């Protein structure tokens, strides 16, 4: 084994990002690392590259226990990483970026530009880059920049290269170049850890696969022996160690939906992310969006509320078009609970009260002056109704646990008295108890006549919670499941099917 992690555990304030995960890479193999959001892929990579140190467990490098204190330690040991976003210096030349930190010197200790440019040009041709290496890196296409990053990583005497979703910003032609580069590395005996959720790519270039879910190791084995549907099942299956029978979630069986759709999104198209998605939700109905990471689930929700610019498509609420402006959508009664609680949800330095009333401020004020009494009444109601555990409404929201923060955000949307709720991963990263409460709440809201769009990476949550499932792949609807067809197998085969 060239690089190995044994029984690593890493905890971030109350959330186990890695729970006893073991992972090993053989020399010269292309090892796929897969899992949904929150599975622990990024944390594992950060442990391998010295960004994080595991709370317990060991990192072995060529069989020897090592401790990487900084990313530089890992780099020196020959472990290179290429991240999704290019992290090079856009204003410096291509060649300078390639040699950053190890520039060839002249006898007088100055940078030997002539040699640097010549060597850079020679190296980069192998990566399909024929541009002038003296150009600023930022003037290259994103794909080409990524190639420079790759060339830089590999030329630094790496024997393990970790690629975190390297193709997410590449054009098809560039993907081919990347694959041929990977092929060459493979021949040179360099091990590659390949993180991606694109099935076709995985099966084309990877030898073995490791699946993580909820911070735990689920499976490692040769990829060729593993049918696609099995792999998808491993990624989405029910939580490990949480194996219970049907009804493990707090959802009840069914809702009584109205006849006419309340929200109708038609032909949503946005760049390469959405290719004509249509979804409609009736009042009292929970519609689930299924699909792998990057299939367009989040983008669909963002497009509906107007936070994602559309190339074409319309969103109708009760027959009236929404103007593609979030403020107008919120006023009309559509709310989005965002996937990333920290980045797009809570306002950390404000109190629980202020976080709850934020979206409803105009309704809680007269002539622009907010009424504290009305705020207090609303906040008290929701703290009690959602059983938010706080020391008081003035506690800072940043001090709450993930589950309680999520309830604060749900309260924020509920006090706007919405008609349509778009819930993007409402139970991610919260503890089991809070999860059941959130699920029961979603149920209750649907029974009260709300139209709910539920996005989840957990198949069980979707199957139990949704009345109808829309399956997305590559930004398009591939299947719509309802009634008897609302089963695990149908969803998995819809996702695993090669063509959309």
Partner 1 sequence: MTAATWDRAGVARWLQEYGVYVAVAGLLLFNIAFTTNFLSVGNFRTQLVQAAPVCVVALGMALVIGTEGVDLSVGAVMALSAAVIPLYLGYGALPSIALALVAGLIAGMFNGVLVAYLGIQPIVATLALLVGGRGLALVLANGQLVQLHDPAFLFLGTGDVLGVPVGVFAAALFSVAVALLVGRTTFGRHLVAIGGNRAASVLAGVPVRRVLIGVYAICGVLAAVAGVLSTARLGASDPADVGLLMELSAITAVVVGGTPLTGGRVRVLGTVMGALLMQLVRATLIKHNLPDSTAQMAQAAIIVGAVYLARERSSR
Would you tell me which residues interact with partner 1 (CB under 8 A)? 305, 307, 326-331, 336, 338, 343-350, 354, 357-359, 361-362, 365, 368-370, 372, 412, 416
Q: Which is nearer to partner 1, 32 or 388 (CB)?
A: 388
Distance separating alpha carbons of residues 284 and 277, to the nearest angstrom:
22
DSSP H helices, 340-431, are 341-344, 352-357, 372-385, 402-414
Smallest gap from Cβ 271 to partner 1, in A, equals 19
The Cβ-side half-sphere exposure at 467, using a 13 Å CA radius, reads 20
Smallest gap from Cβ 365 to partner 1, in A, equals 5
Q: Which is nearer to partner 1, 211 or 356 (CB)?
A: 356
Smallest gap from Cβ 406 to partner 1, in A, equals 13
Q: Which is nearer to partner 1, 185 or 322 (CB)?
A: 322
DSSP letter string over 221-243?
EESTTS-HHHHHHHHHSSPTT--
Count other C-beta atoms under 10 Å from residue 109's C-beta.
7
Sign of the alpha-carbon torsion through 404, 405, 411, 414:
negative
Q: 12 Cβ partners below 8 Å, 6+ apart?
A: none
Identify the H or E element spanning 476. strand 476-482
Q: Which is nearer to partner 1, 100 or 361 (CB)?
A: 361
Q: Which is nearer to partner 1, 146 or 298 (CB)?
A: 298
**Main-chain phi, psi angles of 225, to 5 degrees:** -85, -5
CB 241 within 8 A of CB 218: no
DSSP letter string over 318-350?
TTEEP-S-HHHHHHHTEEEE-S-HHHHT--TTS
Smallest gap from Cβ 327 to partner 1, in A, equals 4
Q: Which is nearer to partner 1, 87 or 349 (CB)?
A: 349
**Strand ranges (DSSP E) for 153-270?**
160-164, 191-195, 208-213, 216-222, 263-270
Sign of the alpha-carbon torsion through 294, 298, 303, 304:
positive
Smallest gap from Cβ 283 to partner 1, in A, equals 21
Q: Which is nearer to partner 1, 249 or 416 (CB)?
A: 416
Distance separating alpha carbons of residues 39 and 21, to the nearest angstrom:
11
CB 403 within 8 A of CB 430: yes
Smallest gap from Cβ 343 to partner 1, in A, equals 6
Q: Which is nearer to partner 1, 454 or 492 (CB)?
A: 454
Smallest gap from Cβ 300 to partner 1, in A, equals 15
């Amino acid at each position: 084994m060239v690089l190995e992690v044994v029984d690593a555990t890493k905890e971030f304030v109350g959330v186990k990002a890695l729970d006893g995960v073991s992972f090993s890479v053989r020399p010269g193999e292309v090892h796929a690392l897969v899992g949904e959001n929150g599975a622990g892929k990024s944390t594992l990579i950060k442990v391998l590259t010295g960004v994080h140190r595991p709370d317990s467990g060991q990192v072995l490098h060529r069989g020897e226990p090592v401790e990487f204190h900084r990313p530089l330690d890992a780099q020196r040991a020959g472990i290179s990483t290429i991240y999704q976003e290019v992290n090079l210096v856009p204003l410096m030349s291509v060649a300078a970026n390639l040699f950053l930190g190890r520039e060839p010197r002249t006898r007088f200790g100055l940078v030997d530009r002539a040699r640097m440019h010549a060597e850079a040009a020679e190296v980069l041709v192998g990566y399909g880059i024929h541009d002038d290496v003296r150009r600023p890196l930022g003037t290259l296409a994103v794909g080409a920049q990524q190639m420079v990053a790759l060339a830089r990583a590999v030329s630094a005497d790496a024997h393990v290269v970790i690629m975190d979703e390297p193709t997410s910003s590449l054009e098809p032609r560039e993907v081919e170049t990347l694959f041929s580069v990977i092929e060459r590395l493979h021949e040179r005996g360099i091990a590659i850890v390949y993180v991606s959720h694109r099935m076709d790519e995985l099966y084309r270039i990877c030898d073995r696969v490791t699946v993580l879910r909820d911070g735990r190791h689920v499976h490692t084995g040769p990829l060729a022996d593993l049918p696609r549907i099995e792999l998808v099942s491993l990624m989405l299956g029910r939580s490990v160690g949480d194996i219970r029978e049907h009804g493990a979630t707090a959802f009840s069986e069914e809702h009584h939906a109205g006849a006419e759709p309340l929200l109708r999104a038609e032909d949503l198209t946005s760049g390469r992310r959405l290719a004509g998605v249509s979804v409609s939700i009736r009042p009292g109905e929970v519609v689930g969006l299924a699909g792998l990471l990057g299939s367009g689930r989040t983008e669909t929700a963002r497009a509906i509320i107007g936070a994602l610019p559309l190339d074409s498509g319309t969103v109708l609420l009760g027959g009236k078009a929404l103007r593609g402006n979030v403020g107008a959508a919120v006023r009309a009664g559509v709310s989005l609970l965002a996937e990333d609680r920290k980045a797009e949800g809570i306002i950390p330095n404000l109190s629980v009260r202020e976080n709850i009333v934020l979206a409803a401020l105009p309704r809680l004020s007269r002539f622009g002056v907010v009424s504290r009494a009305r705020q207090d009444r609303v906040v008290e109601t929701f703290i009690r109704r959602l059983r938010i555990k706080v020391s008081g409404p003035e506690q800072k929201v940043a001090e709450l646990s993930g589950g309680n923060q999520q309830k604060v955000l749900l309260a924020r949307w509920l006090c706007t008295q919405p008609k349509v709720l778009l819930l993007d991963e409402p139970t991610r990263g919260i503890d089991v108890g809070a999860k059941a409460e959130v699920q029961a709440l979603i149920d209750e809201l649907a029974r009260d006549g709300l139209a709910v769009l539920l996005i989840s990476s957990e198949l069980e949550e979707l199957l139990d919670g949704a009345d109808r499932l829309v399956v997305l792949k590559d930004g398009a609807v591939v299947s719509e499941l309802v009634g008897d067809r609302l089963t695990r197998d149908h969803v998995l085969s819809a996702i695993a099917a090669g063509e959309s």
